[in-house]
Amino acid sequence: MYKENAPFKYDFVGSFLRPERLKKARADYAEGNITINDLTKIEDEEIKKLIAKQKAAGYHVITDGEFRRSYWHLDFMWGFQGIEHIELDHGYFFHGEETTHGSVAVSGKISGKNHPFVEHFKFVKQFEDANTVARQTIPAPAQLYAELFREKNGETTRKYYPDDEKLIQDIAGAYRTVIADLYDAGCRNIQFDDCTWGMFCDKNYWAARQNAETELKEIAEKSLRLNNLALEGKPADLVITTHVCRGNYHSTWASSGGYEPIAEILFGGEQVDGFYLEFDDERSGGFEPLRFVPNNKKVVLGLLTSKSPVLEDEKIILTRIQEAAQFVPLNNLSLSPQCGFASCEIGNKLTEDEQWAKLAHVKQISEKVW
């Protein structure tokens, strides 16, 4: 394991474009044409190739690219006891595009025992070396809570959990179980992916998604409390960060707005070690909300976009890093793309070569600053 831990001065969020061989295998398995063992063998082989490329690119973090998932969030949620896979009549409505229809439903007491992602992590862990740290990305607890009340999902949720506090405690407890199991498997870097805060930044999107007006401060404070409950008892040498996203599907987006509406609550209150933030376009707002980040927290500036193959102007990125340093000490800043390259299987609109060129660009710019 590398002597340092995340965030790194040049970093990435976690997901990578799925190779065609992997996409075909997953489709074949869904249609019953191959066995689960056949699929796992192909997943293993493609993840091994990906990790080799991550190392060759000079990065200090390795991930499985989320190659065993259809979605960045739902597959993890389906791994909990008491949560089942359902299909809705429609997906999430992004800017100009609708996602696939997967969702979740409560089917019993929520528990994190025997979560399959622990075994997924162990596969990645074996490739960790003196220059790399194996990272596990998972959706934040608040993301699960939000999904449980997405449209009519809340009706099923309340059948099993009429008491909201019991639901919050069980979600947090399930996460603590998975975090402890990942830690025992050798994991020292976990990333909470969290679109709830991105939704809070765009009040119109949040209201439409919930099909009702919701008091922002109330739900934001509940999300904060839930996430922090899941972090209770975290070992000192386990780095847990969060990626705050506004949606990333086939190069489209879900919500708009700067971090100002939630900055004080999120940056000042969430007990993570660092924040991976989106600042790749005008929808993301300015750096002023970073004034709420405590001096002991790190910020990874997502200044380059994973949604497009176009390489950003280096001079502009260098200038923006200095602008951000007015609010967070330069030594506490890092650089990355704003999101992963394939938050869902469909992936963003660029090629694998363009994906690696983007990451090379991130590294090149970062090394001129740090």
Distances in whole angstroms, Cα of residue 146 to Cα of each of 77, 194, 195, 240: 12, 10, 10, 21
Lookup: tokens for 292: 């709420």
Check whether the bond before 162 is cis (ω within 30° of 0): no
Instruction: Give the mean pLDDT per block of 10 residues along the chain (370 residues).
Output: 93 93 95 97 98 98 95 91 84 50 90 98 98 96 92 92 98 98 98 85 58 68 97 97 71 59 93 92 80 97 88 95 97 93 74 95 98
CA dist., res. 79 & res. 176, Å (int): 14
**Residue 83: what residue type?**
I
Q: Which residues are within 8 A (CB) of 161 and not within 5 positions of it... i.e. 6 or more apart?
A: 106, 167, 170
Q: Which residues are within 8 A (CB) of 152 and not within 5 positions of it... i.e. 6 or more apart?
A: none
Assess contact for 164 and 111: CB atoms under 8 A.
no
Q: Determine if the pTM surpasses 0.85.
A: yes
Scanning 247-351, the segments in alpha helix (DSSP H) are 260-269, 314-324
Q: In this structure, which topology does domain 20-369 adopt according to CATH?
A: TIM Barrel (3.20.20)
Scanning 110-152, the segments in alpha helix (DSSP H) are 116-125, 141-148
pLDDT at 102: 78
Lookup: tokens for 78: 């389906």
| Domain regions of the chain by residue span | 20-369
CA dist., res. 331 & res. 100, Å (int): 40
Terminal Cα distance for the chain, rounded: 22
